[in-house]
Structure 1
Amino acid sequence: MGRIARTAGARVIVVLDFARVSDVDDSATRGLLSLKRIAHDEHDAVLLVAALPAECEQVLARAGFFDADDAKDAIKAFEYVYGALEYAESLHLRSARRLPPPPSDPAAMLRRTFAAAPDGWFHCIESAFEIVDVEAGETIWNAGDPASGIALVVSGRLRTSLRSRPSVVFAGGHDREVEPSGPGSLHGYLSAFTGHSHHLTFTALTDARLLVISKARLDALPATAMLAVARVVMARSSHEYRHHTAVVANLMQ
């Protein structure tokens, strides 16, 4: 039911998976309240609760299990354990050692991102991108929107999120952050290449600058240039997948 992980320089993360739990009695409630106190007060841990049945959620909510200091972001509820693990990965990425900051100049950012493009084709890729400035709070696309293109973050902080189901704790559902986003990150490429709608909402947390290639412009690229873009985004996807599986494996131990 419980999984605990600590990564270098990161807070302790406790994942409680209730997928096989059908009832929470008084004894279990007291035990969970004690666990919460120890996790928060003695270890400054993040407590992630997953797959909690509605009846159990009501019992724990009445007992004050979900009462927390919001500023510490110390307790979260998720519909599935996978969501909790995704959030744990997000916390890990925030605390991980950062690489040198990427260039803030759009042209330099493009050149670094597509440095592997075949000679003579970079100019074709560069001309297909346009600079888009967004304001804090602005949504670039919503989950369910038609595929719109690929966005490369030049500056600012953004996030991708998914709307969870309504519950006792979150009456109208809540936006669960899937991953933080900063300069150098790419978004929307799976939808752009598959034609599927966006499955995550992409929002600016601060004023931000993006380099965007629309799906129409992407589809119009010559085959060689298209292949260069595909290689870059698939390399990014492969790296993220390898990192994700390593983090999940660590949490599952």
Structure 2
Amino acid sequence: MMFARVAYAGAIHHATPVTSLGVGAAGVRLADGRVLNEDEVVWLPPFDVGTIIALGLNYANHAKELAFNAQEEPLVFLKGPGGLIGHRGETRRPDDVAFMHYECELAVVIGQTATKVSRAQAMQHVAGYCIANDYAIRDYLENWYRPNLRVKNRDGGTVLGPWLVEAADVPNPGNLALRTYVNGKLTQQGTTRDLIFDIPFLIEYLSCFMTLRAGDVILTGTPEGVVNVTAGDEVVCEIDGLGRLVNTLVPDSAFNR
């Protein structure tokens, strides 16, 4: 099953996909039965998000793209809840920066408490998966090995959704294709086969020193192919079986800055 959280008519609703509302149209079915076009609702992150755990340089080809060697140990950092927005949301691109890029990532959602979980038992703690687009601004980067707050914890800089897809419906999360399109042009593609540290490893590694709880989410990193994006660009991230996550970049003026 696939689930979303949306706002409509002054309330927050759980929703499921409607594959067709006519030629080329798609929408959502609210839990109360109402069916709406997807642009009639405000999309929220598809679950109540706990701790946001992000991985840097977790694809060898992306590390090479940035002139870094593959990591011997995961590069992990945390993100605050203010960074999250949903499908079809808008992300501010500061007017004075030279290079801001997307990062299409597989997001792993924890479903039950995990403490000192073995690799063999790790996947039993996964509730499901969704798509993340975790923007970064290279101008502000102090050190690739120490991502600073202005790069990776920006308000509205992490797009999550549109659907939470249950783990049972993703039989092989270690073999999913990822793609990013900017204004309809394919600019990034990769596969989760190329993760340096796979999902069972990450859950075992993280749970050995911190308790993972339901709603925590692990952003597993992005493959090579990141390019500069500017205000007005539409960025679409796709992962096989998880849908397509749409986001638009807007200038400072849209935020009265």
Bin of the TM-score, shorter chain as denominator length: under 0.3
TM-score (norm 2): 0.25
Bigger fraction of residues in helix: 1
TM-score (norm 1): 0.25
Q: Relative contact order (C-alpha < 8 Å, sep 6+): which is higher?
A: 2
